[in-house]
Amino acid sequence: MWFKNILLGISILFSALGCSGQKVDSKPTITIWHWMTDRDATFQDLAKKYETLTGVKVNFELYAPSDAYSQKIRAAAQGINLPDVFGILGEKRDFASFIKAGHILDLTSYMEANNNGWKNSFFPKALAVNEFAAGNSYGINPGTYGVPVDIMTIQMVYNKKLFTQLGLNPSRPPKTLQEFLDIGPKIQAAGMQGLVSGWGEVWMIDCLANDYAFNIMGKDKVMATIRGQVPYTDPDWVKVFSIFKQMQDSGVLAKGLVTMINKSAEQLFANEKAVFAFNGSWCVNVYKGMNPNLEYGAILPPQASDKYPMSIWGGAGSSFMVNARSKNKEEAIKFLVWLTGQDQQAYLSRATNNLPANKNCLAKIPEVLAQFARGMEYATHPNVWGVSEFSLVIEAFDRGIQSIIIGEKTPEQVADEVQKVKERELNKRRAK
């Protein structure tokens, strides 16, 4: 008897839990899945505003952390349960596979309507991440498949208060490498920390080194190097490696920089213990949380050469895609057009301290965010280069720079070693 009762109890419990009634609503409702915890409250505010304006309800549904979100999106794609709007985290090939499977709507015609009105409102480099060019290697029809919601750039920041303490003009940060190096001895004399960054996570070294490579030899020569047409032993590359030695010798780099994780670097800069930091635009939000009174400015890395413009890594931070199978796709596009409009973008930027994807709203956001956003003019990213370096070469390159900073190797030695790895990888590829 007891056993039957247990089974009956379980059945009742399961039946009760299994019931999920569906409400019938005459108004269209757009469902958006995202992973951006820090933007969720602002998205909800904007959704309410949009509902007041149009009567269209927008449900922003947060699924964090990003790893779990990615799994959910993949699972939902398999089950054809994707929402009206969603974002894809991952590489361009993942993006392409979703398009090929028919999950993502081609937005080109919407972008180009009204004399490219929507398209022209974005930073072109932010849109580039969501575009597929003619003859792309993924076999995707050329067009725009995503809407950037915000952007990201990686630049340098400097502490204005510490600048004043060093006898420097806080409204005139260093523009050239020499000016930057000249600050090193002053930092040493004052017993402060110089440049901090997450160079323990080596990709950030790679980022700054590539910035200088573009500045010293130009994009074409960097691309030729990746294609194997120019060796890393070329004098221009040795110059790039030498910059790190010069920085170390001048004392402008913080102690322990090569093993520093970005969270520690952010903490040092936010607590006014470091004069400079090399960080992504997300740092504005991080610093605000750690020290709301921090006074700082964002600058491009001081340029080492006049020959080519300084370059930084940047592009779309987060993008939304429209479900090609959604019955609400037209309404979803209308909402995305509204969301990426000037006022909404400025509101989103002010509330979340992220950079707006709309290039026309910089006057409406805090100066430090505008400084970061203006950097988009100089932005590039390996994802849009069309060629990619061997991972072993990148590793040898980044580890080599670490060795230069700790005085273990000379720039010439590192250039030789990187070139050897490059030749080995090229030979392997030729042998295939």
Partner 1 sequence: MMNSFYYKGKKIVVNTLIHLFLISVAITCLYPLLWMIVSSLKTQDMIFKDISLIPHQFRLENYVLAWKEGGFGGNFFNSIIYTVSVVFGIVIISSMAAYAFSRLRFAGSKFLFIMFMAAMMIPIPGSFVALYVLLNKLHLRNTPIGYILCMINVGLSTSIFLLKTFFDKMPKELEDAARIDGCSKIGIWWHVALPLAKPVLAVVIVFNALAVWNEYILALIIFDNRKFMPLQVALQSFQGEFVTNYPLLMAGLTITALPIILVYLFMQKYIIKGVTQGAVVG
267 lies in the site for partner 1, by CB under 8 A: yes
Residue 14 touches partner 1, criterion: CB under 8 A: yes
Q: Is 72 in the site for partner 1 (CB under 8 A)?
A: yes
Establish if 11 lies at the interface with partner 1 (CB under 8 A): no
* Residue 52: partners with Cβ closer than 8 Å, 6 or more residues away: none
CA distance 160 to 166: 10
The beta strands (E) that lie in 206-304 are given as 274-280, 296-299
Nearest to 83 by CA among 42, 33, 11: 33
Q: Which is nearer to partner 1, 177 or 268 (CB)?
A: 268
Could you tell me the sign of the dihedral formed by the alpha carbons of 355, 361, 364, 370, in that order?
positive
| Choices 16-24, 103-111, 208-216, 407-415 (CB under 8 A): range interacting with partner 1 | 16-24
Smallest gap from Cβ 239 to partner 1, in A, equals: 33
In angstroms, what is the minimal distance from the CB of 79 to partner 1?
4
Give the CA angle between residues 79, 81, 83 to the nearest 5°: 155
What's phi and psi for 396, nearest 5 deg?
Answer: -65, -40
Relative orientation angle of helices 329-339 and 342-352, to the nearest 10 degrees: 70
Alpha helices (H) in 101-201, listed in sequence order: 108-120, 124-128, 160-165, 177-189
Nearer to partner 1, 226 or 268 (CB): 268
CA 88 to chain centre: 14
Q: CB neighbours of 89 closer than 8 A, spacing ≥ 6?
A: 35, 66, 69, 70, 73
Site string for partner 1, 146-165 (x = CB under 8 A): --------------------
| Residue range at the interface with partner 1 (CB under 8 A); choices 76-84, 221-229, 230-238, 422-430 | 76-84
Residue 161, helix vs strand vs coil: helix
Look up tokens 């390159």; give the residue. 397
399 binds partner 1 (CB under 8 A): no
In this structure, the number of other CB atoms found within 10 A of the CB of residue 93 comes to 9
Query: Residue 3, interface with partner 1 (CB under 8 A)?
Result: yes
How many residues line the site for partner 1 (CB under 8 A)? Answer: 45
Whichever of 108 and 291 has its CB closer to partner 1, that residue is: 291
- CB under 8 A: which stretch of 108-116, 244-252, 263-271, 386-394 binds partner 1? 263-271
Does 62 sit near partner 1 (CB under 8 A)? yes
Smallest gap from residue 293 Cβ to partner 1 (A):
9
Which span (225-233, 275-283, 305-313, 402-410) binds partner 1, by CB under 8 A? 275-283
Helix (H) or strand (E) run with residue 319 in it: strand 312-322
Which one among 55, 71, 139, 227 touches partner 1, defined by CB under 8 A? 71
What does the binding site for partner 1 look like in residue numbers (CB under 8 A)?
Answer: 2-3, 6, 10, 13-14, 17-20, 35-38, 40, 61-69, 71-72, 74-76, 78-79, 81, 83, 267, 270-271, 280, 282-283, 285-286, 289-292
